[in-house]
Structure 1
Amino acid sequence: MMKFHLPILLAVLLSTAAVASADESLLDKSKTRELSTGEQGMFGPKSHGLHYDPRMIRAAQIARQRAHPHMTWHCWAYVKDALVAADVIKSRPTSAWAREAGDELTRNYGFKELSIKNPYKAPVGAVIVYGGPDAGHVEIRTESGFVSDFVSPSAYPRPVIGIYVKPA
């Protein structure tokens, strides 16, 4: 079974500054905590001793329950739900198409677009929006791959429209 690292990626999503260098962090360390022994199973063997935003811990529990082994064609719905459930955004985006996600996240939810277009160079927690002749695709970068309605070790094989993060 593939490891699911949504909480790690959402923690970074909340704490990553949208500047030329995606390495700068705005994480409020006073609000973080270490994981319990039971929670470390969701975050993986490298999580011991690290501190996480409590919302991300909850997002991991939610995401693990909702993940599918294969694509369901509802990527944007799953990413919307994960962002709301983790309290990254307060209301559910209304755009219908995955390819519209970046515009709505920047316009209505305070996300910033990064200057990079390579999904493998996206920081953990970034929302990656892909184009294409249909609705497009959207996923969140994880430590070991990508997640939306399913978990994948590989980026989606489409042109990247944009990579987005939400400064804390």
Structure 2
Amino acid sequence: MTDRTRSLCQKSSPFSLSAFVAQEDASGKKQAAEIVDKYYPKKIVQPFARDSKIDPKLRRAATIAQERAHAHSLSKCWHYVKEALVAAGVVRSRPTTLLAKEAGKELVNSYGFKKLPVSDPFQAPVGAVLVYGANSAAGHVEIRTEDGFVSDFRSKTPSRRPLIGVFAKT
């Protein structure tokens, strides 16, 4: 790959390229290919992510959740999100629902949250609580951060489960 081609790919590509691998093809000719070590399907959207109408305590909850999160899931997403909301003072008492997919209903009915008109997790404001469904499983819940999403673990991309809603206090 030429320097010109490499610079064009790096400017317009969602891939992070860090190294090359060399191998011989069937005819014995050496070929070089770059190794893709990271892929970001969508960029994090910052302008809408900082919504002044959202309770600033939710931004604090996002920070607390990030500080307490692990690198990989412990299957305790709703537990970690509840703890972050309480620690930040967003809610006065710990939510009682067991399943993550029921979090939105409880946050609206008991804690003054509102469902936001957002269907793309990347467009959710920082601190918003994203609730995902599942047919037979507990679902998933996470908080939007400045650079991704957090629950019991950190992620640059949102859950692949169907989004039930994006919730926040105003």
TM above 0.5, yes or no, is yes
Aligned counterpart, 1:25 = 52
2:118 partner letter: I
Label 1:122 to 1:145 Cα distance change in 2 as closer, same or farther (>3 A). same
Determine which structure has greater relative contact order: mean sequence separation of CA pairs < 8 Å that are 6+ residues apart, divided by chain length: 1
Correspondent of 1:152 among 142, 147, 155: 155
- Output the CA distance in 2 between the equivalents of 1:23 and 1:59: 12
Deviations 1:110-130 (A, max 9, x none): 000011111111111110000
- Output the CA distance in 2 between the equivalents of 1:154 and 1:27: 22
Aligned counterpart, 1:114 = 116
Structure 1: give runs of 5+ residues left out of the alignment.
1-20, 29-51
Structure 2: give runs of 5+ residues left out of the alignment.
1-47
- Output the CA distance in 2 between the equivalents of 1:154 and 1:59: 15
- The alignment status of 1:138 with 2:141, answered yes or no, reads yes
- Output the CA distance in 2 between the equivalents of 1:59 and 1:160: 19
Give the TM-score taking structure 1 as reference length: 0.65
Answer with 1 or 2: which has the greater Rg: 2
Q: Is the 8 A contact 2:65 2:150 kept in 1?
A: no
Label 1:125 to 1:64 Cα distance change in 2 as closer, same or farther (>3 A). closer
- Output the CA distance in 2 between the equivalents of 1:27 and 1:122: 11
Q: Which has the higher helix share?
A: 1
Q: Which runs of 4+ in 1 moved over 2 A?
A: 21-28, 62-66
Q: Which has the higher strand share?
A: 2
Q: Is the 8 A contact 1:22 1:114 kept in 2?
A: no
Percent identical: 56
- Output the CA distance in 1 between the equivalents of 2:119 and 2:75: 23
Label 1:99 to 1:66 Cα distance change in 2 as closer, same or farther (>3 A). same
Q: Is the 8 A contact 2:50 2:126 kept in 1?
A: no
Label 1:126 to 1:27 Cα distance change in 2 as closer, same or farther (>3 A). closer
Aligned residues: 121
Instruction: Report the 3-state secondary structure (helix = DSSP H, G, I; strand = E; otherwise coil) of the residue aligned with 1:81.
Output: helix
Instruction: Report the 3-state secondary structure (helix = DSSP H, G, I; strand = E; otherwise coil) of the residue aligned with 2:81.
Output: helix
Give the TM-score taking structure 2 as reference length: 0.64
- Output the CA distance in 2 between the equivalents of 1:126 and 1:59: 8
